[in-house]
Amino acid sequence: MPDSPIVITGLGCVTPLGANVAETWAGCLAGANAIAPITRFDAHTYPCTFAAEIRNYAAPRIEGRFARWCDDKSRFALAAAREALADAGLLDARPDPHRFGVSVGAVSLKQTIGDIAARLQQVSAEGPERAYRATDPKDFVVMSASYPATMLAGVFDARGPNLTTSTACTSSAQSVADALRILRRGDADVMLAGGTDRLVEELMVMGFGLLGALSTRNDDPAAACRPFDRTRDGFVLGEGAGFLVLETLEHAQRRGARIRAELLGYGCSANAWRITDSPPDGRGARQSMQAALLDAELRAEQIDYINAHGTSTQQNDASETAGIRGVFGDGAARLPVSSTKSMMGHLVAACAAVELIVCVKAIEDGMLPPTINYEFPDPECDLDCVPNVARKAKVDIAMSNAFGFGGSNGTLIVGRPR
């Protein structure tokens, strides 16, 4: 880790638990549950009929040239980014645009089955030429994974580095890490970093269902996401966005910013195993956490809390536990490790950014969010998962894990400001 610290000065999110950081954090501490039957489309014929949808959400107003070129995924990103910039005091007093960059974790924006079926019917009935002329180019612009980063740069006049990372569930961990590296290199003074996703759609529920990755506890959706519990049977799709404002310490001090936390380090790895499973020995998770500790120049015993990837699948939770044991040894049993996915579902490309925000709040408030629905201990996951009820604890340094579908792993470490 270089001498010049990189600090966090702004937080923003939109999640199934709430429309901002305060609501989301309050929901986490209350052990709230946002998982319920899907309302966006008729899912009764699917193996999984529930998800963590964002409900009762007032979409932000978008004006100017980006008003037309926006979908819900981009709107989630815009709302979370605005909150983060306002929290940092940079929404009105913008930084030098040439020293202000954007780094976003996102996956490509998929059309729904209804969209595809309507297009095929049009081609069949009217011919491809008429269907081509009737197609809105917006549909293809917003399908790009890079569109949210493009949109945020345009809305906030960020003319510095602009990146998109698309590595499934690790996307926003790596987007934050890219921002960290850019700031360390001196290529920018301020970076807006995070992720956004909206996968509660027919194709995604169908696809993950066919893979057997989703819980099928359709008779009791609220109890479906149960990380580290012996009876877990799959993850639950969620949606939302999370963004953080990162700055060099010098820039933050120069403008008198409130420093919420310091981003201490990042590690990454690949499982090189299987697309759908994690290696039983947790080797990829272990390597990622060890690399983050090395980057942050920390010892394992200095970590006070881990926000686990904790998806509630049999393989992932056991593999992550093995990785944690491999890094923390005998101390693993005493280290609090919780999964907030139990409450808000799996936000996929946005999950790591939101969960890093949770870590910052844990440090600030001295509270650990619980893993809800924990009933039956699993000897393969013998961790202190902060079961069911939030807990008071002094947290100086927290670790956040994100282990992506396909085997991409990322770990971020955040600490109390020095």
Of 13, 225, 268, 346, catalytic? 346
8 Å CB contact between 87 and 257: no
70 assigned to active site: no
Neighbours of 241 (CB within 10 A): 36
Let me know if 44 is a catalytic residue.
no
- Strands (DSSP E) contained in 145-270 are 162-165, 190-198, 239-248, 261-270
Phi-psi region of 101 (alpha: psi -120 to 50; beta: other; left: phi over 0): beta
Give the pairing of strands 397-403 and 305-307.
Answer: parallel
The CA distance from 204 to 389, in Å, is: 31
For residues 271 and 407, is the Cβ–Cβ distance under 8 A? yes
**Among candidate residues 231, 275, 163, the one with its CA nearest the CA of residue 380:** 231
Catalytic site residue from 48, 70, 169, 359: 169
Q: Respond yes or no: is residue 309 known to be catalytic.
A: yes
13, 28, 309, 351: the catalytic one is 309
Residues 6+ apart with CB under 8 A from 261: 7, 8, 359, 360, 363, 364, 414, 415, 416, 417
Place of tokens 């956490």: 289
CA 186 remoteness from chain centre: 26
Total residue length of the chain: 418
What positions carry a catalytic annotation?
A: 169, 309, 346
